[in-house]
Amino acid sequence: MLGAMLLLSGCTTQPAGTPTATPTATPMPTTAVPTTTVPINMTDFDVYNETANNTTATIPLGSGGLMVRLIENPSTGYSWNATVTSGLTIVDDAFEQNPASQGMAGAPGTHYWILSGTAAGQQKFSAIYMRPWENVTGTEDTFVLNILVE
């Protein structure tokens, strides 16, 4: 008898009545967000790289600008930390992997910044190549470009 009670205790039925509706999610219409990729035409900017370290460039106030391109390998933990004085604006800041090594883990590339002048006078772009979690020791690679905004 005890065995029969144990077997029957797991078999129950819902009492008759109004069934409860299970809520269903109403699908929301989605709209694709348009995206545009604008290739950067290297001829639109004077481009400065490691060979321009500690030199001076001149750019017009407002329109125009320049590009700084420095070799970087972020897979090692190292990256360029760039700063500008108050009369410059960083319009774009990105990393491009070398085309020959696309999809290869640990491959180096180029970090670039596009700058424009927002105040006339002597300005400065400075960058230090380091691991962000380490303290500055003074032995890091640095890059400085003095920029005269006219």
Query: pLDDT tens, 120-147?
Result: 999 999 999 999 999 999 999 999 999 9
The pLDDT assigned to 33 comes to: 34
Classify domain 42-149 by CATH architecture. Answer: Sandwich (2.60)
The pLDDT assigned to 98 comes to: 80
Q: What is the pTM of this model?
A: 0.68
| Amino acid symbol at 39 | P
Run of H or E residues at 6: helix 2-9
Segments of 12-108 assigned E as strands: 46-48, 55-59, 66-72, 79-84, 88-97
Strand pairing partners for 48?
Answer: 68
Q: Which residues contact 125 (CB under 8 A, 6 or more apart)?
A: 68, 82, 83, 84, 88, 113, 115, 143, 144, 145, 147
For the chain, which residues make up each domain, given as ranges?
A: 42-149
The pLDDT assigned to 37 comes to: 34
